[in-house]
Structure 1
Amino acid sequence: MDGAALRAEGTRLWVAWSGDLAVAMGGWKPFDAVAAELKSMHVLQRARGQGAAARIVEAVVEDARAAGRTALFLETGSHEIHAPARRLYEKAGFSYCPPFGAYVDDPNSVFMVRAL
């Protein structure tokens, strides 16, 4: 998501800090009337494995649930470099699903969903 999309109405964003350094971020945006999409998950390389991403994902899940969303979808990479992200999402209760919304089958992407 670019800056304009991050500022769009309904989009929510979290940042994890270590002192003055932003080490992780992620958010959600409405997908339809009842579902949301996890967006813009990023973690600094040097901060990986320290739990910041898991805390961001759980904050997003809880906020989307509190906003009345019933499902949280995501798209992430299918290649080995994205394996840690997929494991994070699996541990957070996400399962694999077909493409959603405007997404189409793509060998570079996998899609996941978690009921809220």
Structure 2
Amino acid sequence: MDIKLDDLTRSEVIELVGEHLYSMALSSPPESNHALNLEELKQPEITFWSVWEQDELVGCGALKELDGRHGEIKSMRTSSLHLRKGVAKRLLEYLIEEAKRRGYSRISLETGPMDTFGAALKLYEKFGFKRCKPFADYIEDPNSVYMTKEL
């Protein structure tokens, strides 16, 4: 698997981000949906990567700098054609290493508590993420789970 810095212009990447947005819209009420669209992912504080196996896009993810010591994982998505192949695990390892390289002392994320997010929650817990209070601009929300990992 190759993880590449991405500018969000390739049609495959645009389609995968669209799949992510659609899935999040189905899983979370609008006021609890924190998925970022293409333009939001292009903000200067966000770095976006795509994951490739040969010429096939298998996943994507982003890291948002909240401040010089704290990053947030955003838009982690495995292509529906490549679930259960280790894509998310490999990407999460990469994002954690990137956060360390940047000198962050903490990396956090927001996800959903519903069954559709069960595999993601297990993966984050396996990597040492712990549930926490809302961070950054998030607020208490029964449709959100907030997690953080000290680096």
TM (norm. structure 2) is 0.72
Larger Rg: 2
CA RMSD of aligned residues (A): 1.2
Alignment counterpart, residue 42 of structure 1, candidates 43, 59, 77: 77
Deviation string, structure 1 residues 30-61 (Cα, Å, up to 9, x no partner) = 11231010000011122111111111111111
> What aligned pairs does 1:1-116 form with structure 2 within 5 A after superposition?
1-116=36-151
Conserved 8 A contact 2:130-2:149 = yes
* Structure richer in strand, relative to its length: 1
Cα distance between partner residues in 1 of 2:105 and 2:69: 6
**TM-score after normalising by structure 1:** 0.93
Q: Could you list the runs of 5+ residues in structure 2 that have no partner in the other structure?
A: 1-35
Q: 1:16 Cα deviation (Å)?
A: 1.4
Identity of aligned residues (%): 35
Which structure has the highest helix share of the two? Answer: 2
Are 1:15 and 1:56, in contact at CA under 8 Å, matched by a contact in 2?
A: no
Report the Cα offset of residue 101 of structure 1: 1.3
